[in-house]
Amino acid sequence: QMDLCIEAFGTSKQKRALSSRRMNTVGNDILSTAVTKAAANVIDAKGVTALIQDVAQDDVQNISIFLPPCNEDADKPTDVYKFEDILSPAEYEALQVPAAVFVNITPEEISKKTDDKSHCSFVLEELKFLPADEKSRDHKARCLWFLDTLIKFSYLKVIKKKHPMGPECPHVISRKLMKNFTSLAYNNGSIQNLISASMKAKITAYVIALALHINNFQTDLTVLQNDLKLQESRMMDIARAMRLKVSKAKELPGLENDQTHKLGTLSLPLPVQKASGSQRKRKKMN
């Protein structure tokens, strides 16, 4: 009714705006229809089995394309995977509010969260060692909150909600997760966001990079592996692709008795990059 009123009595400017909005609506509908039709044609032409095999092959070919930007010419570890490439200034600023719960956390609250398993093991352990300095404490709290969110996000399969990590997650962070860590897939006539194996690898790489910044560029890969629910071989492939030196560590808390800790260290000069295990052996697809 409002549109009819504008058509009959609106100003020239209002009529132009109405015409532009209607054209955009038509354009979006045409684009959506075209994308859906193209996806359906691809599936009809290749078949679902062939597409699954293509995805598997793409996933194992080169892990490095899912890593954070790597500056091989860096003269210090902090510049190899720059913090700004993990969290932009705007994203970092947005973390101040949700991370406040970590800044002011008490030992009793950490103990309760440990019993509840409300956060990943890496974060719960690091919360015990927050710096006393206010600025450093706030910085570490923001990093831990985002790392915990990334790990929880990796557990999802198909993203069905606009804000999958809940209302406490800032909009800019939700947008980052959806844009950078999900793949688009065609299913039952619609396009869906999902976390594929390649996106899981990308999340893992960013988690490792952030953990290195938190832990002075040496971190326990086995704790992160358990938190991310990965096989050790997959974790080691990603760590070595990131040019980390992997070594065995002495027994540390937080792991199963039959596990040996693996430490990942980022130091210069960077090791020569080698082919990953997943490149040498392709997983059989049923």
- The sheet carrying 158-159 orders its strands as 158-159, 190-194, 183-187
260: DSSP letter: P
**Nearest Cα to 221, choosing from 270, 260, 275, 256?**
260
Q: Looking at the structure, do residues 123 and 50 belong to the same domain, yes or no?
A: no
Q: Looking at the structure, do residues 100 and 231 belong to the same domain, yes or no?
A: yes
The total of structural domains in the chain comes to 2
Classify residue 65: in a domain, yes or no.
no
pLDDT at 121 over 50: yes
User: Between residues 58 and 170, which one has the greater pLDDT?
Assistant: 170
Q: Looking at the structure, do residues 131 and 178 belong to the same domain, yes or no?
A: yes
Q: Which helix (H) or strand (E) holds 264?
A: strand 262-265
Q: Looking at the structure, do residues 54 and 75 belong to the same domain, yes or no?
A: no
Spatial separation of the C-alpha atoms in residues 177 and 261, rounded to whole Å: 29
Domain termination site, one of 58, 79, 94: 58
Classify residue 105: in a domain, yes or no.
yes
Q: Looking at the structure, do residues 22 and 125 belong to the same domain, yes or no?
A: no
Q: CA separation (Å) from 207 to 146, 212, 244?
A: 9, 9, 14
Residue 14, classified by CB atoms within 10 Å of its CB into exposed (0-12), middle (13-18) or buried (19+), is middle
Q: Residue 238 has what pLDDT? A: 95
Spatial separation of the C-alpha atoms in residues 238 and 204, rounded to whole Å: 8
pLDDT at 137 over 50: yes
Mean pLDDT of 138-167: 92
Spatial separation of the C-alpha atoms in residues 199 and 61, rounded to whole Å: 14
Classify residue 42: in a domain, yes or no.
yes
Mean pLDDT of 239-246: 95
Q: How confident is the model at residue 272 (pLDDT cuts 50, 70, 90)?
A: confident
Q: Looking at the structure, do residues 18 and 84 belong to the same domain, yes or no?
A: no
Q: Looking at the structure, do residues 168 and 235 belong to the same domain, yes or no?
A: yes
- The sheet carrying 218-220 orders its strands as 218-220, 262-265, 245-248
List beta partners, residue 158: 194
pLDDT at 54 over 50: no
* pTM metric for this prediction: 0.73
Q: Residue 95 has what pLDDT? A: 97
For 62-90, letters b (16+ CB in 10 Å) and e give ebeebbbebeeeeeebeebbebeebbeee
Structural domain that includes position 34:
1-58
For the CA atoms of 134, 140, 146, 151, the dihedral, rounded to the nearest 10 degrees, stands at -150
Q: Residue 29 has what pLDDT? A: 57
Classify residue 36: in a domain, yes or no.
yes
Classify residue 163: in a domain, yes or no.
yes
Q: Looking at the structure, do residues 15 and 89 belong to the same domain, yes or no?
A: no
Q: Looking at the structure, do residues 79 and 183 belong to the same domain, yes or no?
A: yes
Classify residue 180: in a domain, yes or no.
yes
- Tokens 């082919």, located at residue: 275
Q: How confident is the model at residue 91 (pLDDT cuts 50, 70, 90)?
A: very high
Q: Residue 285 has what pLDDT? A: 43
Q: Looking at the structure, do residues 52 and 95 belong to the same domain, yes or no?
A: no
Q: Looking at the structure, do residues 105 and 235 belong to the same domain, yes or no?
A: yes
Domain termination site, one of 29, 58, 87: 58
pLDDT at 207 over 90: yes
With a CB cutoff of 8 Å and minimum separation 6, the contacts of 158 are 192, 193, 194
Q: What is the mean pLDDT of the chain?
A: 82
Q: Looking at the structure, do residues 123 and 170 belong to the same domain, yes or no?
A: yes
Classify residue 200: in a domain, yes or no.
yes
Classify residue 274: in a domain, yes or no.
no
